[in-house]
Amino acid sequence: MTGSSTSPWPWEPDVAATAYHRQFATLPDEGPVWLASLRQRARAQFEGYGFPTPRNEDWHFTNPAPITEADFQPMQPALGTVTPAALAPFLVGHAEWPTLVFVNGRYAPSLSRVHSLPAGVRVMSLAAALHEEPTLLERHLGKVAGYDDQGVAFTALNTALMRDGAVLHVAADTVSEMPIHLLFVSDAGAEGGVSYPRNLLVVEPNARATVIEQYVALGSARYLTNAVTECVVAEGATLHHYKLQREGMKAFHVGHIEVTQARDSHYVSFAFSTGASLARSNIYTTLAGEGCGATLNGLYLLDGDQVSDHQTRIEHAAPTCYSRETYKGILDGTSHGVFNGKVYVHPIAQKTDGKQTNKTLLLSDRARIDTKPQLEIFADDVKCTHGATVGRLDDLASFYMKSRGVGAETTRRLLTYAFAADVLETIELEPLKDALESMTMARYTGSTDK
Amino acid sequence: MLTISDLHATVADKEILRGISLTVNAGEVHAIMGPNGSGKSTLAQVLAGHPGYEVTSGSVTYLGEDLLEMEPEARAHAGVFLAFQYPIEIPGVSNAYFLRTAYNEIRKAAGKEEVDPMDFLDIMTEKLKLVEMDEAMLQRSVNMGFSGGEKKRNEILQMAVLEPRLAILDETDSGLDIDALRIVADGVNSLRRPDGATIIVTHYQRLLNYIVPDFVHVLANGRIVKSGGKDLALELEAKGYDWLIDEPVALGA
């Protein structure tokens, strides 16, 4: 375990949390009473337990000290220098998809396009929703994403300090085939700053929606994104949720997605991560009604000295639900990947069918993965499996390709891509799948055609 | 064109090939037969350069070159092709992309220009007919979700595209129904070239009804225990392998 040169380890929570006390003072006074009291509760929780250290079980493999010891200031509103052309490379899929752009944590209406939404679909910034959809917010905001223990201290901070984000409401029986893209951009003005994007996605009974939540950087600023997305997937509803974490290489990202699923609902998630110097991504879902399905897949591609930690938690809290999970990682350089897949099967959750896989490809001797499946099963009639593999490229597949005349280097590149493509193939949104495949192909083979 | 002399090879310190000598001339078809575990597949894989086998002594000369010194891809560039007994699945890489990459790498090695995807599609369309495969197979990941027969046909498709001089077919007939067997055999026959040769590794005689060998060799315990003409295959079909393995002459050497 390495300590920090600037402060003692183990670190004392009340020392480094001081920087955050100042941030509470910067919050706007406006807003409904319930919001102020939500912020207060979250603040009190955070001040009670402070930041986690590697002594916290949920942070055992990832030391958040580089984030918690830095004195990030709330980001100032952007200067308006971001142009649509600068965002073009991040418009994965189709440019005409409804897109909400946030620059340095604040909604940027001039860069967004939210017209041509199907009937029954409402999407707006959190700041606007506080005026336009107060009932919806009061009903759900802060009710899905828990913040009552130190492991989710960043969620508490977000809850206390949130300013803006996206709110999506899809009315009952509305099938929205058009994906909605939430694009969070940090530009040079983000240097030394922190933003607290807060999103709420509500999909009412028997409705269907697709959301892309993407984090990117223009330039190479050092900043922190502390994002929380709450998802309410009502009875019989389906939410396809893609998270693309492509923050700047000096940036820090802590993202927490928490979902509650009612009877017969489906939540399908894909997490694609290539960015940030240190990233933590939580995706938690609770299968709260019978007959639910959750699919959590992901791919992380790391290099240099990047640290990327993916935590998933699936709560089987009702009978006859299924969960499917495949996370893959490709680690190069001295990068460090972490995967922790928690599956809790409550006593009531009979006939649970759960399957989890984590596969890692190490391209370098100095890259490291910590993978931890964590199944806690309290029902007796369940089918739950998990498996993890860590390895290098398959010798047999290499031989097969070489025996067809493909040179050693091309073979290595192509098989690396193939390792990733295997899980990218599970993405149902074709234009996004194509975009991520091309991105991955270019990264490992230098070519973009497949 | 191929001369194998006293070849010994091991896998995990276990000797599998124990002194194989064989000469294959241009224009010839050789069948290597033998019971399970006799070393037939090992011989095929050693010729292609499988990294799991270690050659402990002996030599293999191919077109005047020391084949054993060549990397697997260099052997492919020189015209050696192994149709795998168990073709490998490569998720995420389409059959078309894989074949075009291989095709272009071989062209590059020969100092020829690479072929662009459109022109390559024309080449493929013609080759697909040869093995009666649907064009849709090109867009699927290499061997992923292919039936046993489809995998074997895909091997012959690769062979048709790469046009090798020395084709080695390792148990290509196993798992094929009679129609698929005929398609595969017709494909192989039409791909024969006067300056090339074919080595067929098989346990059963039935493929040899369609691809008629000039020579048949019987492998047992890592050695060739008997060689003959095509009639030897029929004799093996009738009598099995035991009479050869039990022959003291064969084992006493």
As a whole number of angstroms, the distance between CA A421 and CA A330 comes to 11
Min distance B78 CA to chain A CA atoms (Å): 9
pLDDT at A27 exceeding the cut of 80:
no
Closest chain B CA to residue A449: B97
Partner residue opposite A405 with nearest CB, options B77, B87, B97: B77
Binning pLDDT at 50, 70 and 90, where does residue A14 land?
A: low
Which of these ranges, A48-52, A319-323, B91-95, has the smallest mean pLDDT?
Answer: B91-95
Binning pLDDT at 50, 70 and 90, where does residue A436 land?
A: very high
Min distance B109 CA to chain A CA atoms (Å): 9
As a whole number of angstroms, the distance between CA A377 and CA A242 comes to 28
List, for residues B172-219, the tens digit of each pLDDT value: 988 888 988 999 999 999 999 999 999 999 988 889 999 999 999 999
Min distance B190 CA to chain A CA atoms (Å): 20
As a whole number of angstroms, the distance between CA B76 and CA B79 comes to 5
Min distance A372 CA to chain B CA atoms (Å): 25
pLDDT of residue A19: 66
Partner residue opposite B73 with nearest CB, options A407, A415, A420: A407
Closest chain A CA to residue B78: A405
Nearest alpha-carbon partner for B164 in B102, B234, B93, B101 = B102
CB within 8 Å: A417 and B93: yes
pLDDT at B247 exceeding the cut of 60:
no
Min distance A409 CA to chain B CA atoms (Å): 11
Provide, rounded to the nearest whole percent, the portion of chain A with pLDDT above 90.
84
Q: Which residues of chain B does A405 touch, with a Cβ-Cβ cutoff of 8 Å?
A: 73, 76-77, 102-103, 105-106, 109, 162
List, for residues B38-73, the tens digit of each pLDDT value: 999 999 999 999 999 999 999 999 999 999 999 999
pLDDT at B120 exceeding the cut of 80:
yes
Which of these ranges, A119-123, A398-402, B141-145, B240-244, has the smallest mean pLDDT?
Answer: B240-244
Mean pLDDT of chain B: 92
pLDDT of residue B246: 61
Whether A420 contacts chain B with CB within 8 A: yes
Q: Which residues of chain B does A411 touch, with a Cβ-Cβ cutoff of 8 Å?
A: 73
Closest chain A CA to residue B110: A405
Write B63-70 long-range contacts (CB < 8 A, 24+).
Answer: B63/B1, B63/B165, B67/B2
Nearest alpha-carbon partner for A226 in A64, A54, A21, A36 = A64
CB within 8 Å: A450 and B158: no
Binning pLDDT at 50, 70 and 90, where does residue A450 land?
A: low
Greater confidence, A204 or A17? A204
Does residue A121 contact residue A174 with C-beta atoms inside 8 Å?
yes
pLDDT at A156 exceeding the cut of 90:
yes
CB within 8 Å: B98 and A401: yes
pLDDT of residue A115: 81
Q: Which residues of chain B does A399 touch, with a Cβ-Cβ cutoff of 8 Å?
A: 48-51, 72
Whether A422 contacts chain B with CB within 8 A: yes
As a whole number of angstroms, the distance between CA B97 and CA B102 comes to 9
As a whole number of angstroms, the distance between CA A249 and CA A243 comes to 17
A323-333: average pLDDT: 97
Binning pLDDT at 50, 70 and 90, where does residue A7 land?
A: very low
pLDDT of residue A95: 80
pLDDT at A146 exceeding the cut of 80:
yes
Provide, rounded to the nearest whole percent, the portion of chain A with pLDDT above 70.
94
Partner residue opposite A405 with nearest CB, options B73, B87, B90: B73
pLDDT of residue B252: 38
Closest chain A CA to residue B51: A399
List, for residues A67-107, the tens digit of each pLDDT value: 999 889 999 887 788 999 999 999 988 888 999 999 999 99
Which of these ranges, A116-125, A196-205, A280-289, has the smallest mean pLDDT?
Answer: A116-125
pLDDT of residue B205: 87
As a whole number of angstroms, the distance between CA A386 and CA A428 comes to 23
Q: Which residues of chain A does B82 touch, with a Cβ-Cβ cutoff of 8 Å?
A: 403
Partner residue opposite B102 with nearest CB, options A406, A417, A419: A406
pLDDT at A12 exceeding the cut of 90:
no
As a whole number of angstroms, the distance between CA A369 and CA A372 comes to 10
3-class secondary-structure state, position A390: strand
The values of phi and psi at residue B201, to 5°, are: -100, 120
Q: Which residues of chain B does A421 touch, with a Cβ-Cβ cutoff of 8 Å?
A: 91-93, 141
Residue A355, beta-bridge partner list:
A324, A385
pLDDT at A6 exceeding the cut of 50:
no
**Model pTM score:** 0.87
